[in-house]
Amino acid sequence: MLIDWSARSEQTSADVSFSLDANHNWQNSGTQVMAGKTYQINAEGQYVVDDDPKDWICEPQGVSVEYVDGFPLGMVQAVIYDMETPHAQKDRVFLKPIPIGREETLTAPKSGTLFLRINDHANSWENNRGEIAIQIQAAD
Protein backbone atom coordinates (compact mmCIF):
# COMPACT_ATOMS: atom_id res chain seq x y z
CA MET A 1 0.00 0.00 0.00
CA LEU A 2 2.81 2.36 -0.88
CA ILE A 3 2.25 5.95 -1.95
CA ASP A 4 3.79 7.03 -5.26
CA TRP A 5 5.36 10.40 -4.39
CA SER A 6 6.75 11.08 -7.90
CA ALA A 7 4.59 13.54 -9.83
CA ARG A 8 2.56 12.15 -12.75
CA SER A 9 2.55 15.56 -14.41
CA GLU A 10 4.73 18.62 -14.14
CA GLN A 11 2.41 20.84 -16.15
CA THR A 12 1.97 24.34 -14.78
CA SER A 13 -1.00 25.40 -16.89
CA ALA A 14 -4.57 25.48 -15.62
CA ASP A 15 -5.22 22.22 -17.52
CA VAL A 16 -3.41 19.06 -16.42
CA SER A 17 -3.78 15.66 -18.09
CA PHE A 18 -2.15 12.38 -17.11
CA SER A 19 -2.76 8.63 -16.81
CA LEU A 20 -3.65 7.07 -13.46
CA ASP A 21 -2.49 3.46 -13.09
CA ALA A 22 -5.19 1.05 -11.90
CA ASN A 23 -2.60 -1.20 -10.22
CA HIS A 24 -1.12 1.38 -7.80
CA ASN A 25 -2.33 2.98 -4.59
CA TRP A 26 -2.15 6.79 -4.12
CA GLN A 27 -0.44 8.56 -7.04
CA ASN A 28 0.84 12.14 -7.05
CA SER A 29 -0.96 14.12 -9.78
CA GLY A 30 1.64 16.90 -9.66
CA THR A 31 -1.23 19.38 -9.28
CA GLN A 32 -1.08 21.96 -6.52
CA VAL A 33 -4.56 23.04 -5.45
CA MET A 34 -5.32 26.19 -3.46
CA ALA A 35 -7.77 26.38 -0.55
CA GLY A 36 -11.11 27.82 -1.65
CA LYS A 37 -10.41 27.44 -5.39
CA THR A 38 -12.61 25.20 -7.52
CA TYR A 39 -11.32 22.47 -9.84
CA GLN A 40 -13.07 20.26 -12.38
CA ILE A 41 -11.72 16.70 -12.31
CA ASN A 42 -12.70 14.28 -15.09
CA ALA A 43 -11.80 10.60 -15.35
CA GLU A 44 -12.48 8.25 -18.23
CA GLY A 45 -11.52 4.82 -19.39
CA GLN A 46 -12.01 1.17 -18.59
CA TYR A 47 -9.73 -0.96 -16.46
CA VAL A 48 -9.69 -4.33 -14.71
CA VAL A 49 -10.21 -4.46 -10.92
CA ASP A 50 -10.10 -8.24 -10.54
CA ASP A 51 -9.16 -11.16 -12.78
CA ASP A 52 -10.67 -14.10 -10.90
CA PRO A 53 -12.53 -16.00 -12.27
CA LYS A 54 -12.35 -13.64 -15.29
CA ASP A 55 -11.59 -9.95 -15.95
CA TRP A 56 -13.89 -7.61 -14.03
CA ILE A 57 -14.11 -4.46 -16.15
CA CYS A 58 -14.65 -1.19 -14.28
CA GLU A 59 -15.09 2.51 -15.06
CA PRO A 60 -14.24 5.58 -12.91
CA GLN A 61 -17.52 5.57 -10.97
CA GLY A 62 -16.68 2.08 -9.67
CA VAL A 63 -18.90 -0.98 -9.39
CA SER A 64 -21.74 -0.90 -6.91
CA VAL A 65 -21.87 -4.64 -6.26
CA GLU A 66 -18.82 -4.42 -3.99
CA TYR A 67 -17.75 -1.64 -1.63
CA VAL A 68 -14.39 -0.93 0.00
CA ASP A 69 -14.38 1.40 3.03
CA GLY A 70 -17.83 2.72 2.11
CA PHE A 71 -17.08 3.53 -1.56
CA PRO A 72 -17.65 1.46 -4.71
CA LEU A 73 -14.78 -0.83 -5.72
CA GLY A 74 -12.75 0.82 -8.49
CA MET A 75 -14.06 4.37 -7.92
CA VAL A 76 -11.55 7.15 -8.62
CA GLN A 77 -10.76 8.97 -5.36
CA ALA A 78 -8.61 11.95 -4.35
CA VAL A 79 -6.91 13.42 -1.30
CA ILE A 80 -5.12 16.71 -0.79
CA TYR A 81 -1.73 16.27 0.86
CA ASP A 82 -0.42 19.36 2.61
CA MET A 83 3.27 19.45 3.56
CA GLU A 84 2.32 21.78 6.43
CA THR A 85 0.21 19.08 8.11
CA PRO A 86 1.75 18.18 11.49
CA HIS A 87 3.94 15.07 11.16
CA ALA A 88 1.75 12.92 13.44
CA GLN A 89 -1.28 13.51 11.16
CA LYS A 90 0.35 13.23 7.71
CA ASP A 91 -0.62 9.60 7.03
CA ARG A 92 -4.20 10.17 8.19
CA VAL A 93 -4.82 12.41 5.19
CA PHE A 94 -4.89 9.28 3.02
CA LEU A 95 -7.61 7.71 5.18
CA LYS A 96 -10.26 10.30 4.22
CA PRO A 97 -10.65 10.12 0.43
CA ILE A 98 -12.79 12.47 -1.64
CA PRO A 99 -15.02 10.58 -4.11
CA ILE A 100 -14.36 11.68 -7.71
CA GLY A 101 -15.88 8.98 -9.91
CA ARG A 102 -16.35 9.99 -13.54
CA GLU A 103 -16.33 13.73 -12.75
CA GLU A 104 -16.35 16.03 -9.77
CA THR A 105 -16.27 19.76 -9.18
CA LEU A 106 -14.02 20.11 -6.15
CA THR A 107 -13.64 23.21 -4.03
CA ALA A 108 -10.37 22.57 -2.24
CA PRO A 109 -10.86 22.62 1.56
CA LYS A 110 -7.10 23.25 1.96
CA SER A 111 -4.03 23.89 -0.17
CA GLY A 112 -1.74 21.04 -1.13
CA THR A 113 -0.89 18.38 -3.70
CA LEU A 114 -3.72 16.36 -5.25
CA PHE A 115 -3.22 12.57 -5.07
CA LEU A 116 -5.55 10.11 -6.83
CA ARG A 117 -6.17 6.35 -6.92
CA ILE A 118 -8.89 3.83 -7.62
CA ASN A 119 -10.59 2.39 -4.55
CA ASP A 120 -9.54 -1.18 -3.86
CA HIS A 121 -8.63 -3.52 -1.03
CA ALA A 122 -5.10 -2.96 0.30
CA ASN A 123 -3.96 -6.37 -0.93
CA SER A 124 -5.66 -6.29 -4.35
CA TRP A 125 -3.93 -3.70 -6.53
CA GLU A 126 -1.62 -6.31 -8.09
CA ASN A 127 -4.48 -7.95 -10.05
CA ASN A 128 -5.65 -4.66 -11.58
CA ARG A 129 -4.75 -3.60 -15.11
CA GLY A 130 -5.17 -0.50 -17.21
CA GLU A 131 -5.08 3.26 -16.97
CA ILE A 132 -7.56 6.03 -16.37
CA ALA A 133 -7.28 9.30 -18.31
CA ILE A 134 -7.45 12.14 -15.78
CA GLN A 135 -7.98 15.80 -16.61
CA ILE A 136 -7.86 18.56 -14.00
CA GLN A 137 -8.94 22.11 -14.83
CA ALA A 138 -9.06 25.17 -12.62
CA ALA A 139 -12.70 26.32 -12.69
CA ASP A 140 -12.11 29.75 -11.14
Hey, is 1 helix, strand or coil?
coil
Per-residue model confidence as pLDDT tens digits over 106-115: 999 999 999 9
The domains located in the chain, with CATH, are 15-138 (2.60.120.430)
pLDDT of 14 higher than 80: no
Hey, is 54 helix, strand or coil?
coil
Predicted local confidence at residue 21, as pLDDT: 96
pLDDT of 85 higher than 90: no
pLDDT of 100 higher than 70: yes
Q: Which residue type sits at 84?
A: E
